[in-house]
Amino acid sequence: MSHLVPSVPAGGGRVEVPRSVTAVLGQDVVLPCRYLAQEQEQVVQVTWLKRGPGAVATEVAVLNPQHGEHVQEPFAGRVLRHGHGDLEDGAIVLRN
Protein backbone atom coordinates (compact mmCIF):
# COMPACT_ATOMS: atom_id res chain seq x y z
CA MET A 1 0.00 0.00 0.00
CA SER A 2 1.25 3.50 -0.75
CA HIS A 3 0.09 6.86 0.49
CA LEU A 4 -0.14 10.23 -1.25
CA VAL A 5 0.34 13.15 1.09
CA PRO A 6 0.75 16.89 0.62
CA SER A 7 4.06 18.26 1.86
CA VAL A 8 3.37 20.78 4.61
CA PRO A 9 5.93 23.25 6.00
CA ALA A 10 5.74 24.45 9.58
CA GLY A 11 3.44 27.43 9.83
CA GLY A 12 0.64 28.95 11.77
CA GLY A 13 -2.25 27.56 9.73
CA ARG A 14 -3.72 24.08 9.70
CA VAL A 15 -3.97 21.48 6.94
CA GLU A 16 -7.19 19.50 6.67
CA VAL A 17 -6.97 16.15 4.90
CA PRO A 18 -9.16 13.10 5.41
CA ARG A 19 -7.58 10.20 7.28
CA SER A 20 -8.40 7.91 4.36
CA VAL A 21 -10.02 8.11 0.94
CA THR A 22 -11.72 5.15 -0.72
CA ALA A 23 -11.21 4.69 -4.44
CA VAL A 24 -12.97 2.41 -6.91
CA LEU A 25 -10.70 0.67 -9.40
CA GLY A 26 -11.05 2.27 -12.84
CA GLN A 27 -12.73 5.47 -11.58
CA ASP A 28 -11.38 8.91 -10.74
CA VAL A 29 -10.87 9.85 -7.10
CA VAL A 30 -10.35 13.26 -5.48
CA LEU A 31 -7.69 13.58 -2.79
CA PRO A 32 -8.78 16.62 -0.76
CA CYS A 33 -6.32 18.99 0.89
CA ARG A 34 -7.38 22.31 2.39
CA TYR A 35 -5.10 24.75 4.19
CA LEU A 36 -6.77 26.94 6.79
CA ALA A 37 -4.45 29.93 6.70
CA GLN A 38 -4.01 32.38 9.51
CA GLU A 39 -4.19 36.11 8.88
CA GLN A 40 -1.47 37.36 6.52
CA GLU A 41 -0.62 33.83 5.33
CA GLN A 42 -0.77 32.85 1.69
CA VAL A 43 -0.22 29.45 0.09
CA VAL A 44 2.34 29.84 -2.68
CA GLN A 45 2.89 26.18 -3.55
CA VAL A 46 1.48 22.73 -2.86
CA THR A 47 3.63 19.64 -3.33
CA TRP A 48 2.12 16.14 -3.34
CA LEU A 49 4.37 13.21 -2.41
CA LYS A 50 3.89 9.46 -2.68
CA ARG A 51 5.11 7.40 0.28
CA GLY A 52 5.44 3.65 0.04
CA PRO A 53 6.28 1.26 2.85
CA GLY A 54 9.93 1.72 3.79
CA ALA A 55 10.50 3.90 0.73
CA VAL A 56 11.67 7.43 0.35
CA ALA A 57 8.93 9.90 -0.61
CA THR A 58 8.58 10.46 -4.37
CA GLU A 59 7.34 13.77 -5.73
CA VAL A 60 4.09 13.37 -7.65
CA ALA A 61 2.92 16.91 -8.42
CA VAL A 62 3.69 20.55 -7.65
CA LEU A 63 0.94 23.18 -7.85
CA ASN A 64 2.23 26.73 -8.16
CA PRO A 65 0.15 29.72 -9.32
CA GLN A 66 3.13 31.49 -10.93
CA HIS A 67 4.84 28.52 -12.56
CA GLY A 68 1.79 26.36 -13.21
CA GLU A 69 1.28 22.73 -12.39
CA HIS A 70 4.02 20.16 -12.81
CA VAL A 71 3.30 16.44 -12.66
CA GLN A 72 6.24 14.02 -12.62
CA GLU A 73 6.49 11.75 -15.67
CA PRO A 74 5.25 8.48 -14.13
CA PHE A 75 2.03 10.30 -13.13
CA ALA A 76 1.56 12.54 -16.19
CA GLY A 77 -2.00 12.42 -17.52
CA ARG A 78 -3.19 10.66 -14.35
CA VAL A 79 -2.88 13.48 -11.80
CA LEU A 80 -4.71 16.80 -12.20
CA ARG A 81 -5.46 19.73 -9.95
CA HIS A 82 -9.05 19.47 -8.74
CA GLY A 83 -9.83 23.11 -8.02
CA HIS A 84 -9.01 26.52 -9.43
CA GLY A 85 -7.96 29.78 -7.87
CA ASP A 86 -6.16 30.08 -4.54
CA LEU A 87 -4.08 27.15 -3.37
CA GLU A 88 -5.81 26.96 -0.02
CA ASP A 89 -7.64 24.18 -1.87
CA GLY A 90 -4.76 21.97 -3.03
CA ALA A 91 -6.86 18.91 -3.90
CA ILE A 92 -5.82 16.68 -6.77
CA VAL A 93 -7.66 14.13 -8.91
CA LEU A 94 -6.20 10.70 -9.59
CA ARG A 95 -7.57 9.51 -12.91
CA ASN A 96 -8.59 5.94 -13.57
Sequence ranges of the domains in the chain:
23-94
Tens of pLDDT, residues 29-74: 999 999 888 888 888 899 999 988 887 889 999 999 888 899 999 9
In one letter, which amino acid is 69?
Answer: E
Judged against a pLDDT cut of 90, whether residue 95 lies above it is answered with yes
β strands within the chain, DSSP E: 3-7, 14-16, 29-31, 34-36, 46-51, 58-64, 68-71, 79-81, 92-94
72: left (phi over 0), alpha (psi -120 to 50) or beta: beta
CA distance 40 to 49: 26
Judged against a pLDDT cut of 70, whether residue 9 lies above it is answered with no
Q: What CATH topology corresponds to 23-94?
A: Immunoglobulin-like (2.60.40)
CA distance 21 to 37: 23
Find the distance separating the first CA and the last CA of the chain, reported in whole Å. Answer: 17
CA distance 91 to 4: 11
